[in-house]
Amino acid sequence: MLLHIPNVLTQDEVRIIRTRLERSDWTDGRATVGAQGAQVKRNRQLPEASAEGRELAAIVQAALARNPMFFAAVLPVRSMPPLFNRYGEGEHYGDHVDGAVRVVPGMPGMLRTDVSSTLFLSAPEEYEGGELVVQDTYGEHEVKLDAGDLIVYPSTSVHRVQPVTQGERICSFFWTQSMIRDDARRSMLYDLDRTIESLRGRLGDCPETVALTAHYHNLLRQWAET
């Protein structure tokens, strides 16, 4: 499921993050990928261990925690702390698939990457090129969102960032392990959740909405891994 979630960050939050990022020290983005990714990745990242990065990640995490659409779509068990990257002129990230598991800083064990997320911090008019291109069975989908908006997509997807030809593209990105490993099942549960909410808004908690809610939770109970 490829899903656009608008207004995850307020414009004040975007400004705070952008102002602090402008004062930050950036490193070569190839430091955080494997051998295949390093061959096609040309960008800069805020170091994962930096105090600045942890503080800015906390702002993003708080915004995600208050967003019901993100929870309904992703059904998170746990997420990597958000990271930050930037692409200037000529920088890009070629076709790749995100690694299946990652170490979570400060936490035991590994995180399975079920859902990838990109949070846009630059407005579309600030740069040319730089589209996120996600491939699925329906073809390729180009994504370039307003600052503060989020795109979520299966981590199994082949995707890339087109070369930036003018200006600068700044984003946050992270991975989430979902209660529902399978993307098709996550999509069905999300559609069912949205339908229940729509019907509840029109009809209240009538017998039909209660019955659909029961089906939702019984499917979640059957499929969930925690």
**pLDDT per residue as tens digits for the range 56-79:** 999 999 999 999 999 999 999 999
The per-residue pLDDT for range 115-162, each reduced to its tens digit, is 999 999 999 999 999 999 999 999 999 999 999 999 999 999 999 999
179 pLDDT above the threshold of 90:
yes
CATH dotted code for 3-178: 2.60.120.620
pLDDT of residue 34: 64
Find, among 118, 158, 152, the residue nearest to 136 by Cα.
158
Q: Report percent pLDDT > 70 for the chain.
A: 97
CA distance 136 to 113: 17
Structure tokens at 190: 């999300």
pTM score above 0.85: yes
Q: From the options 3.40.50, 1.10.1870, 1.10.8, 4.10.860, give the CATH code of 183-223.
A: 4.10.860
Query: Does 168 have pLDDT greater than 90?
Result: yes
**Domain edges within the chain:** 3-178, 183-223
